[in-house]
């Protein structure tokens, strides 16, 4: 939906300096994601609509919060672990989540790897000795099926396991077509990592998209981010975990939020995150309990945050 439609539908946007905010990080609002959300407190709107607070510097800002720049052996590639390689297929997304830690994106040239860069990143992955390639972005389902399948086929047979890290089943569920699902199924083992933060995101269309993947035998797991005012309470996280397990989606990780310039409004202090997680652990089964993780700025990779019974 365009700016005019969004401003009509969400009147409080009139106070937002849309141009200034979107010049820092683009704004994109698919009707299928925000179309039936109306109140300012709706978690989909809280995470998708621009806000003036994004323009304010914060003392906690970290420009490269998970240390990817130092771990990038060539453009569009991140290597933090011997057994995994991360390939960024594009910088484009169906929605630009305002909390995202990858905010170095401007529309136009440079949104996607050049042909030379694309070939080099696939060559690197094939020769890496890695057991898993993680296709990320941006959203790896913002590229065409042909390009996605070329990336998967381009690292096989050297790399056996492919992970597609995408919000498309949530933010643009019609992207999960029968053709896409069949292509992923035929290339097994391909795991799909989705990203749901709140039960309100699990609409009928999202449920159907997730079911198309699971019914085809494509394993689906979820990664959430702990976000201020969105899901920073154990009851919401427990409801989300229960809803995911019901849909045959494993609640894999709960990420502590990464502090990038522009997302200060979403941050939750670590001590508070620990208390919330300790409560969550008492409310759900082992199957429904995600691991609470942090990705530190030194680039050493994610680790599980220790949480004792009291938080």
**Which range of residues in 6-14, 15-23, 50-58, 136-144 is near ligand SF4 by CB under 6 A?**
136-144
| Helical spans, DSSP H, in 156-269 | 168-171, 178-186, 204-215, 234-246
Closest separation in Å from C-beta 65 to ligand SF4:
13
State which residue, 151 or 284, has the beta carbon closest to ligand SF4.
Answer: 151
Closest separation in Å from C-beta 268 to ligand SF4:
16
The residue within the footprint of ligand SF4, chosen from 44, 71, 79, 102 (CB under 6 A), is 102
3-class DSSP assignment, residue 165 = strand
Closest separation in Å from C-beta 194 to ligand SF4:
10
Q: ∠ CA(207), CA(208), CA(212), 5° rounding?
A: 120
Relative to beta strand 291-294, strand 303-304 is antiparallel
What is the number of residues in the chain? Answer: 311
The residue within the footprint of ligand SF4, chosen from 67, 113, 137, 262 (CB under 6 A), is 137
**Which range of residues in 6-14, 63-71, 97-105, 266-274 is near ligand SF4 by CB under 6 A?**
97-105
Tell whether residue 97 is a contact of ligand SF4 (CB under 6 A).
yes
| DSSP type of residue 271 | H
Looking at residues 36 to 95 of the shown chain, list those that interact with ligand SF4 (rule: CB under 6 A): 93, 95
Rounded-to-integer distance, Cα 306 and Cα 203, Å: 33
Cβ contact 167:137 at 8 Å = no
Total residues contacting ligand SF4 by CB under 6 A comes to: 10
Tell whether residue 100 is a contact of ligand SF4 (CB under 6 A).
yes
Rounded-to-integer distance, Cα 281 and Cα 296, Å: 23
Closest separation in Å from C-beta 290 to ligand SF4:
16
State which residue, 79 or 102, has the beta carbon closest to ligand SF4.
Answer: 102
Tell whether residue 139 is a contact of ligand SF4 (CB under 6 A).
yes
| DSSP type of residue 15 | G
Q: 60: how many CB neighbours lie within 10 A of its CB?
A: 13
State which residue, 195 or 274, has the beta carbon closest to ligand SF4.
Answer: 195
Closest separation in Å from C-beta 98 to ligand SF4:
8
Rounded-to-integer distance, Cα 56 and Cα 186, Å: 47
For residue 57, which of 287, 259, 308, 217 has the smallest C-alpha distance? 259
Query: Which residues of the chain form contacts with ligand SF4 (CB under 6 A)?
Result: 93, 95-97, 100, 102, 137-139, 167
């Amino acid at each position: 939906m365009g700016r005019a439609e969004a401003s009509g539908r969400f009147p409080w946007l009139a106070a937002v300096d849309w141009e200034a905010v979107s010049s820092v990080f683009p704004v994109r609002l698919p009707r299928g994601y925000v179309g039936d959300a109306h109140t300012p407190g709706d978690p989909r709107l809280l995470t998708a609509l621009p806000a003036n607070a994004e323009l304010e510097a914060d003392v906690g800002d970290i420009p490269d919060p998970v240390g990817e720049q130092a771990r990038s052996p060539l453009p569009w590639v991140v290597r933090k672990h011997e057994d995994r390689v991360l390939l960024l297929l594009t910088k484009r997304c169906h929605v630009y989540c305002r909390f995202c830690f990858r905010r170095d994106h401007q529309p136009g040239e440079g949104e996607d790897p050049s042909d030379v860069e694309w070939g080099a990143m696939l060559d690197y992955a094939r020769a890496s000795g890695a057991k898993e390639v993680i296709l990320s972005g941006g959203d790896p389902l913002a590229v065409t099926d042909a390009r996605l399948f070329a990336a998967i086929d381009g690292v096989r047979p050297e790399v056996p396991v492919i992970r597609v890290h995408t919000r498309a089943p949530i933010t643009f569920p019609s992207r999960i077509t029968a053709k896409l699902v069949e292509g992923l199924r035929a290339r097994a083992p391909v795991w799909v990592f989705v990203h749901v933060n709140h039960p309100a995101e699990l609409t009928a269309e999202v449920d159907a998209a997730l079911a198309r993947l699971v019914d085809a035998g494509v394993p689906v797991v979820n990664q959430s981010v702990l976000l201020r005012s969105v899901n920073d309470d154990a009851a919401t996280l427990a409801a989300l975990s229960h809803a995911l397990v019901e849909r045959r989606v494993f609640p894999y990780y709960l990420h502590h939020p990464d502090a990038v310039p522009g997302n200060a409004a979403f941050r939750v202090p670590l001590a508070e995150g620990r208390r919330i997680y300790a409560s969550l652990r008492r409310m759900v089964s082992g199957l429904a309990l995600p691991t609470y993780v942090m990705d530190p700025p030194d680039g050493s990779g994610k680790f599980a945050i220790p949480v004792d019974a009291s938080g």
